[in-house]
Amino acid sequence: MNATKVLGETGMIAQAMRMAYEHRPQQIEMAAAVEKSLRDKAHLIVEAGTGVGKSLAYLVPLVLWTREGNVRAVVATYTKALQQQLVDKDLPFLKNVLGDFRYALCVGGENYLCLRRFDYLRIGNLYEQNEIEPLNRLFAWSTMTKTGLRSELETEPLPGLWAKACRQADLCFGKDCSYYKDCFYLKAKSIEQQAHILVANHHLFFADMATGGNVLPQFKAVVFDEAHQVEDVATDYLGVEVTNFSVKYLLDTLLSQRTRKGLLTRLTVQDAEVQILRGMVDGLRVVSDNFFLNLHPFLSKEPALRIRQRNIVPDILSEPLMELRDSLLELTPDSQEEELEVKAFAARAQSLASAVRINLDQSAEGFVYWAERENLRYRLVASPIDVAGTLRENLFGKADTVILTSATLSAAGAFTYIKNRLGLDAPTELQLDSPFDFEKQALLYIATGLDDQQASGYQERFDAELKSVLTITRGRTLVLFTSYGQLRKSAETLRKELPELGFLCQGEMPAYRLIEQFKSVPRAVLMGTASFWQGIDIPGEALQCVVIAKLPFAVPDEPIVEARMERLKNPFFEYQVPQATLLFRQGFGRLIRTKTDRGAVVVLDSRIMTKIYGKSFLKSIPKCRITDERERFSEFFEALRK
């Protein structure tokens, strides 16, 4: 049995799907490439356009290979939606078709209820007044759940309450825990150990890599779907950060500022050392507040700032945190469980102190240092400028086979950019077009006169052009912005001038509710920024037009972007253009999701036609009809409505 036969016109998939089966040559070609990479212990990068059916193209050979060799493979996705599709739809279908194999959904330990911590929470009265009713609901659920997974809850628990009840790695006692036999997390780990296919997200995969393989069971191969996100997730996980909230959480867990309860009140022995520690915790609150407030003058005008000098603020925090660590380790707990818990909090204090020192001393080479403020939250962050070396050694150098796939991995027809960013040397490469007929299904309309975005009156001209577009489309349009500021300005203007349309704007309600309303409300216009460029799937007539407000270049003075660009000879063409091209392709890809979809993409940025780099963007999308005449755009929509 091989993957190409399984997926072929007379194969097991076709027999199972019957009339619903579609022969997709690109899918079979991808499956053969995945199968060969697994067999040869080689790495593969494969771009598969929308409609190829790439999930089955990698799952079928993975299932056959893991089952035959009794080995394990990971499939890592970026979005939860794709993760659920694999676990709820694709893998159960393949189990019916291919016969028995085992798979498991892997989520972070903090998604599981910890019975020991939950009991301490209730019995030790560690909850606050507003948490009593949610706590009762949580208790009722805890007596019925078989998995202990947070996602099972009908209503989202209060974040603070769940944090006091969930499993946390350093507070897990494993076999030494009195709840060991009933532990939800360990039951899940046992299922994972028996699985052939592990489905995780990118974040959990890199958490595993960052801890030296302590999160996931050992595996021989990994497939990254939505692989265009890998660099950003790896950068996040390989960084070092400290926030005022993380320090406050540590201190409140030891002794809550509100309830005056916590670990220090739960200890069996309440001696003078514990009393001194209570005072130390209260003193540290003041020190921490002052430390982060010292950052405020630097962040009063901009929410994020690159820090180029060492010790931008006095280090008044790391030493008190180390003193807290030392004092915790000097306690004499009454039981092994108390001792393990005290040591865990001492390690947390040390970790926070280390993060403060690294960020202020700027002692980690190859990192960019920056500070950020979001409302009352302050962050100090050290991020790796280039993750290629780390991934080359710890990912591509260790796994037998790594497969990267997405609808958007190439820039200007080549994988050079993504390979350089990720440290992927000499992989097998495969580019597969979408099976959709874009020349029949789609039109690209490029507005003229919108290339100088700094010119006087630009916003008025932009809004006038967008108004004309929406008047023609009569809603059913997704507008993708690169800045929330421009989104707000345009929404304010167009709500007044086009009252017959319903404008749904990012930030006004949760994203999933915006999308639900957009699908159900006629004549709706959905406006979004960054997260709306990718991962949104609205097939059918609900979405007939995607408007791209500007070519999505990264902001050049963003700390990580700026640091990456400084390392390149020609940063604009080596970094900014390829990165923007990939995101542009993601935005373009929101339109045609099935072979029956019809619609237009509108680009309200004339630079795509007037600048030399515009060719890179046009070359990167499927071949389709292109016009800069609004009349032709209008005629296209008149034809759609017939």
pLDDT band at 343 (very low <50, low <70, confident <90, very high): very high
CATH number at residue 513: 3.40.50.300
Distance between CA atoms of residues 151 and 113, nearest Å: 11
| Structural contact between residues 295 and 288, judged by C-beta atoms closer than 8 angstroms | no
Q: Can you state the percent helix, strand and coil of the chain, rounding each to 5?
A: 50, 15, 35
| Cα angle 119-121-125, degrees, rounded to a multiple of 5 | 120
**Is the residue at 136 inside a domain?**
yes
What mean pLDDT, rounded, does the chain reach? 92
Mean pLDDT of 81-99: 91
In degrees and rounded to multiples of 5, residue 101 shows phi and psi of -155, 165
Burial class (CB in 10 A: 0-12, 13-18, 19+), 203: middle
349: domain CATH number is 1.20.120
| pLDDT score for 251 | 96
State the DSSP code for 403.
E
Per-residue pLDDT, 220: 96
Same domain? 263 vs 164: no
For residue 81, pLDDT over 90 is answered with no
547/559 same-domain check: yes
Q: Is residue 131 part of a domain?
A: yes
pLDDT at 311 > cutoff 90? yes
Q: Is residue 188 part of a domain?
A: no
Looking up tokens 């690294």, which residue turns up? Answer: 358
401 in any annotated domain? yes
Of residues 313 and 23, more confidently modeled: 313
Query: Is the confidence at residue 212, as pLDDT, over 90?
Result: no
**Six-digit token pair at 142?**
């805890």
Q: How large is the average pLDDT for residues 353-374? A: 95
Residues 473 and 582 in one domain: yes
Q: What's the confidence (pLDDT) of residue 281? A: 94
353 plus 224 within the same structural domain: no
Give the pLDDT score at 509. Answer: 84
Higher pLDDT, 641 or 631: 631
pTM: 0.89
Q: How many residues does the chain have?
A: 642
Q: 553-572, pLDDT tens digit by residue?
A: 988 889 999 999 999 999 99
The count of structural domains within the chain is 4
pLDDT band for 200, please (50, 70, 90 cuts).
very high
How do residues 48-74 score in pLDDT, each as one tens digit?
988 899 999 999 999 999 999 999 999
Q: Would 147 be classed as within a structural domain?
A: yes
pLDDT at 125 over 80: no
Please check whether residues 557 and 493 belong to one and the same domain: yes
Q: Which two tokens stand for residue 416?
A: 């050079």
pLDDT tier at 471 (50, 70, 90 boundaries)?
Answer: very high
pLDDT-derived band of residue 332, with 50, 70 and 90 as boundaries?
Answer: confident
Under the banding of pLDDT at 50, 70 and 90, the label for residue 469 is very high
CA distance 404 to 412: 18
Do 510 and 560 reside in the same domain of the chain?
yes
In a domain, 4, yes or no: no
Same domain, 217 and 277: no
Residues 481, 628: one domain? yes
Residue 381 has a pLDDT of 96
Whether 6 is covered by a domain: the verdict is no
Q: Rounded mean pLDDT of 224-250?
A: 94
Same domain, 598 and 508: yes
pLDDT for 271: 84
Q: Name the strands in the sheet holding 240-243, side by side, starting at the edge strand that comes first in the sequence.
A: 240-243, 377-384, 367-374, 304-306
- Whether 514 is covered by a domain: the verdict is yes
Tally Cβ neighbours within 10 Å of residue 167. Answer: 23
Q: What is the mean pLDDT of residues 304-322?
A: 95
Q: Is the pLDDT of residue 126 over 80?
A: no
Position 641 scores a pLDDT of 84
Q: Quick check: 300 pLDDT over 90?
A: no
Residue 228, Cβ density class (10 Å: 0-12 exposed, 13-18 middle, ≥19 buried): buried
The whole-number pLDDT of residue 248 equals 95
144 and 200 belong to one structural domain: no
Q: Point out the least confidently predicted range of 2-6, 192-196, 323-327, 543-547.
A: 2-6
Q: Are residues 583 and 488 part of one domain?
A: yes
Cα separations (Å) of 448 from 5, 257, 461, 489, 628? 50, 59, 10, 21, 7
Q: Does residue 119 carry a pLDDT above 80?
A: yes
Instruction: Evaluate if residue 20 carries a pLDDT over 90.
Output: no
Rounded mean pLDDT of 118-143? 86
Task: Report the percentage of the chain scoring pLDDT > 70.
Answer: 100
Same domain, 510 and 406: no
What integer is the mean pLDDT of 92-110?
93
Integer CA distances (angstroms), 287 to 248, 250, 275, 315, 410, in order: 11, 14, 19, 10, 49
Which domain, by its residues, includes 331?
A: 239-384
Q: What percent of the chain has pLDDT over 90?
A: 74
Sign of the torsion angle spanned by Cα atoms 333, 337, 338, 339: positive
Mean of the pLDDT values across residues 257-283? 88
Q: How confident is the model at residue 512 (pLDDT cuts 50, 70, 90)?
A: confident
Query: How many Å separate Cα 473 from the centre of its chain?
Result: 32
**pLDDT of 366 strictly over 90:** yes
Report the SS3 class of residue 407: coil
539 or 70: which leads in pLDDT:
70
**Band (539; pLDDT cuts 50, 70, 90):** confident
